[in-house]
């Protein structure tokens, strides 16, 4: 294989010299072309035939169903995620640190970022067995072979990433600066009639406590990630991309491009059900209006997010009988307490290392101290 690639590259080099052109542009063109040829040949010779067969059977499999695409923005803390227990969901990257607050696991998982994926390879291999289908690039456009650090499993589908474009003939997928862009291509291919975005906030701020690696690549030095639902998401030692304006603008343009392509070529409807999201190219709907649960069902789902041992009646009684804390600080030592509204949201990043936050329910969050979690659930929330 290597000899074929080298011969092709030499022929390209010879042709360029013959026509007498050169310079930086040509060097970049040659490198990109060489990478494309190398990637294509490598893919052809090492293609996963199981995955390729499965792609054919997956086309349109979920026609008539709805799916929720979960970004990882801070607004997830304002969203009653426990209501998604029996829904189709696709989640990304380090959503796994939300698992401890939920009674469900995502249906689908995807990670396409070379820097992030390599950095969390062990986590990815722990997440994959817990979902129905996981989607990854085989060989990224930057030539990183994901198959070298992600274990192939029966539920893994390998994608063929392209520099640009929105594709309907998967496994080819176009890249657009955000994992949500290929996810929209996958969900459309799977046949979902409705797709709801939540947590796709796009309210990025520059993360200041980082070390530069190269370009926009950085490594965090503290557990204080301001751009995701948990400060540990891109916390100490984590490698990722600084959300500079150029990156954010590229993502916004990708969403607009995706919205146009889906509208022009499919019957799939895409809505933004996120709270406070800046993404305007999809019609906005209220998350809570997408469900028809009565109060009893809501408390049952909320209680399950804490523990399957919890009594919904006990949980409701506790939330009704106890008032939310008014004066609160990060040094609080109570075993269990309630916070309300924006106060709860502002304290989740400060307290999540010591407390598990659950909610919102009726505008409230319940905080249980991690070191006494079993005791609290047994004594206060179980019959």
Tell me how far CA of residue 149 lies from CA of 144, 200, 245, 348, in angstroms.
10, 28, 31, 33
144-167 tens-digit pLDDT: 999 999 999 999 999 999 999 999
219-261 tens-digit pLDDT: 999 999 999 999 999 999 999 999 999 999 999 999 999 999 9
Q: Is the Cβ–Cβ distance between 155 and 132 less than 8 Å?
A: yes
- Give the DSSP letter of residue 343: H
For residue 28, pLDDT beyond 60: no
Q: Is the Cβ–Cβ distance between 70 and 95 less than 8 Å?
A: yes
What's the gap between Cα 116 and its chain centre?
Answer: 11
Handedness of CA 154, 156, 157, 160 (dihedral sign): negative
Q: What is the mean pLDDT of the chain?
A: 92
Half-sphere exposure of 139 (CA within 13 A, CB side): 15
Which residues are bridge partners to 195 per DSSP? Answer: 67, 270
How far apart are the C-alpha atoms of 333 and 230, rounded to whole Å? Answer: 20
For residue 379, pLDDT beyond 90: yes
Q: Is the Cβ–Cβ distance between 75 and 81 less than 8 Å?
A: no
Tell me how far CA of residue 308 lies from CA of 88, 357, 376, in angstroms.
21, 16, 14
- Residues of the chain with pLDDT > 90, as a percent, come to 86
Q: What is the rounded average pLDDT of the residues 29-44?
A: 62
- How many beta carbons lie within 10 A of that of residue 41, not counting itself? 15
179-194 tens-digit pLDDT: 999 999 999 999 999 9
Tokens 């891109």 appear where?
234
254-290 tens-digit pLDDT: 999 999 999 999 999 999 999 999 999 999 999 999 9
Q: What is the rounded average pLDDT of the residues 122-134?
A: 99
Half-sphere exposure of 312 (CA within 13 A, CB side): 10
**Domains of the chain as residue ranges with CATH:** 2-45 (no CATH), 49-290 (3.90.1480), 305-380 (no CATH)
- What does the pLDDT read at residue 327? 87
For residue 4, pLDDT beyond 60: no
pTM over 0.85: yes
Which residues are bridge partners to 174 per DSSP? Answer: 162
Q: How confident is the model at residue 17 (pLDDT cuts 50, 70, 90)?
A: low
Question: Tokens in use for 225?
Answer: 């990630």
How far apart are the C-alpha atoms of 320 and 192, rounded to whole Å? Answer: 39
Question: Tokens in use for 267?
Answer: 């019957």
Half-sphere exposure of 298 (CA within 13 A, CB side): 12
């Amino acid at each position: 294989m290597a000899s074929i690639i080298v011969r092709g590259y030499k022929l390209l080099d010879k042709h360029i010299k013959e026509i007498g052109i050169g310079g930086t542009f040509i060097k970049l063109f040659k490198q990109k072309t060489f990478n494309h040829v190398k990637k294509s040949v490598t893919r052809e010779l090492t293609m996963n035939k199981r995955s390729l067969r499965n792609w054919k059977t997956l086309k349109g499999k979920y026609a008539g169903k709805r799916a929720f695409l979960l970004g990882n923005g801070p607004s997830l803390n304002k969203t009653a995620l426990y209501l998604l227990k029996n829904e189709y969901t696709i989640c990304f990257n380090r959503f796994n640190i939300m698992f401890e607050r939920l009674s469900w696991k995502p249906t689908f998982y995807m990670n396409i970022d070379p820097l992030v994926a390599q950095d969390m390879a062990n986590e990815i291999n722990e997440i994959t067995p817990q979902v129905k289908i996981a989607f990854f690039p085989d060989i990224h456009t930057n030539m990183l072979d994901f198959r070298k650090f992600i274990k192939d499993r029966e539920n893994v589908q390998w994608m063929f990433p392209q520099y640009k474009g929105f594709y309907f003939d998967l496994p080819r997928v176009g890249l657009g600066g955000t994992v949500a862009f290929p996810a929209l291509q996958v969900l459309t291919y799977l046949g979902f009639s409705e797709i709801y975005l939540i947590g796709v906030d796009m309210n990025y701020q520059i993360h200041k406590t980082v070390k530069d690696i190269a370009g926009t690549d950085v490594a965090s030095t503290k557990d204080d990630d301001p751009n995701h639902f948990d400060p540990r998401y891109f916390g100490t030692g984590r490698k990722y991309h600084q959300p500079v304006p150029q990156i954010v603008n590229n993502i916004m343009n990708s969403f607009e491009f995706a919205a146009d392509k889906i509208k022009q070529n499919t019957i799939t409807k895409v809505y933004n059900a996120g709270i406070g999201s800046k993404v305007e190219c999809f019609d906005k709907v209220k998350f809570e209006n997408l469900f028809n649960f009565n109060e009893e069902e809501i408390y049952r789902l909320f209680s399950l997010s804490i523990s399957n041992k919890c009594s919904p009646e006990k949980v409701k009684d506790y939330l009704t009988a106890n008032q939310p804390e008014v004066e609160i600080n990060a040094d609080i030592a109570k075993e269990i307490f309630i916070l309300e509204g924006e106060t709860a949201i502002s304290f989740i990043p400060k307290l999540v290392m010591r407390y598990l936050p659950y909610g919102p329910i009726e505008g409230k969050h319940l905080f249980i101290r991690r070191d006494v979690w079993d005791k609290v659930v047994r004594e206060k929330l179980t019959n």
